[in-house]
Structure 1
Amino acid sequence: MLPKLTFVLGGAASGKSAFAENLIVQTGAPRVYIATAEVYDSEMEAKVQRHKTMRGPNWRSIEAPRDLGPAFTSVSKDEIALLDCATMWLTNHMMGEADIEAQTSDLLHQLATCEGRVVVVSNEVGMGIVPDNAMARRFRDLQGRLNQRLADQSELAVFVVAGQPLVLKGTLP
């Protein structure tokens, strides 16, 4: 059985979303997909459509690029929600010049009080080169801190590389 909070981390195109989806599907529980992406161009539209096709029709979908409160409130104790992904959520708040610390604290509270179980997907962005501009460095630092806090709060944390899971914390079901 999946714990109350599972954190799945990986690089771009690492297979983290597919891994997280599969974890949820294996439970047999009703599933909710909470999407944080905002579509601004045809490339992102294609990516969103590809993810929808891969998931299939058996997901209740909620689009919540910034305000996750109503999405988490709607998840029942029998459901498992997939938040995909914390990286896009953070980006949306950065671009909106929000108070990131306040938003992060609110997210962690919402995860703790959600009635259902939640799997959070996020990108590991700190393993590459140091970005060449201040905004990218700030994003890398904020994402790193958000990932640390999500991993701390989770009961299961998994790093996905080349589609393969490496358990950082807890035990896979």
Structure 2
Amino acid sequence: MTPANASATATEPVRASTHAPASERSPQAAPAPHAAAVPGRARQLTLVLGGARSGKSHFAEQMAADHAAATGGPVTYIATARHGQDSTDEEMEVRIALHRARRPAEWGLVEAPLHLADALYTHATHDGCILVDCVTLWLNNLLFLDARSYPEHGLVTPPAAFTEEIDALLSALPTLPGHVILVSNEIGFGVVPMGAITRFYVDELGRLNQKLAAAADRVRLLVAGIPVSVKGADPA
């Protein structure tokens, strides 16, 4: 399955590694985690949820722009969509172009289709804001790593990197300085899918969203373009 939300690329991105899973990367090659935010510098984690075309990406982008205007700090956009020169997915290319066109030119860009925790460790700063769009595609990339296929019925066994990268993300989030905004789809409101792999994906994204929401300072659910406060107050 392909989740119904597109991350985007902008000018000339910094591409995070997309090959070795966490268990195969040497300790020397992995970025060192940041220390917790220094006193007086608020660490913020916001989760923005919503269905397809709910307005969640636009809302998250506005949050990042507001943070930059208030603090003067940089914004780094971490795109999880796979994007290459040989891409034949015209629909995805159009989605990427739309995201690129509406983002401020001064925002930094990092492509991290697999190793999201590494990208966060590397680019989080005390005065900055990181916007990850989106967790949905990132989980899809991990599940279908190396064009992995699954049976229509029966148990689903994802690649080892699936669990390793999720664990790495959940470990990273409490340590990151600055403001981190995560965008993810809420896809559990519909009917139960018939195929085993689709059911597995819906279940795993739902479980991950719960864990991200528990770690977040604020959770906003977008419904028809209107943000609904689920957890936490807006910053003063």
Q: What's the TM-score bracket when you normalise by the shorter of the two chains?
A: over 0.9
Mapping 1:129-168, distance limit 5 Å: 129-168=191-230
1:17 and 1:121 in contact (8 A); partners too: yes
Quick one: which amino acid aligns to residue 128 of structure 2? E
> Which ranges of structure 2 fall in alignment gaps of 5 or more residues?
1-40, 146-157
Equivalent position of 2:129 in the other structure: 80
3-state DSSP of counterpart to 1:71: helix
The AA in structure 2 aligned to 1:26 is D
How far apart are 1:98 and its partner, in Å? 2.8
After TM superposition, the structure 1 = structure 2 runs for residues 1-173 of structure 1, keeping only pairs within 5 Å, are: 4-27=44-67, 28=69, 29-39=73-83, 40=87, 41-72=89-120, 73-96=122-145, 97-99=158-160, 100-173=162-235
Distance (Å, rounded) in 2 between the aligned partners of 1:95 and 1:38: 12
Pair 155,144 (structure 1): closer, same or farther in 2 beyond 3 Å: same
- Bigger drift between 92-101 and 12-21 goes to 92-101
Tell me by how many angstroms 1:147 deviates.
Answer: 0.4
- Say whether the 8 Å CA contact 2:80–2:133 is kept in structure 1: yes
Identical columns (%): 42
In 1, Cα distance between equivalents of 2:43 and 2:225:
21
Structure 1: unaligned runs, 5 residues or longer: none
Range that drifts further, 32-41 or 79-88: 32-41
Measure how far apart 1:115 and its partner are.
2.4
TM-score of the two chains, using structure 1 as the length reference: 0.94
1:80–1:117 CA contact under 8 A, matched in 2: yes
CA distance, structure 2, for counterparts of residue 137 and residue 42 of structure 1: 27
Q: 1:2 to 1:33 in 2, by over 3 A?
A: farther
CA–CA distance in 2 between the matches of 1:50 and 1:83? 16
Partner AA of 1:84 in structure 2? D
Instruction: Give the root-mean-square deviation of aligned CA atoms.
Output: 1.6
CA positional deviation for 1:75:
2.1
* Stretch of structure 1 that moved more, 68-77 or 84-93: 68-77
Give the conservation status (yes or no) of the 8 Å contact 1:3–1:155: no
- Separation in 2, partners of 1:169, 1:59: 27
Q: TM-score, normalised by structure 2?
A: 0.70
Runs of 4+, deviation exceeding 3 Å: none
Alpha-carbon contact 1:3-1:156 (below 8 Å) kept: no
Aligned residues: 173
Say if 1:3 and 1:113 are closer, same or farther in 2 by CA, change over 3 A: closer
> Secondary structure of the equivalent of 2:192?
coil
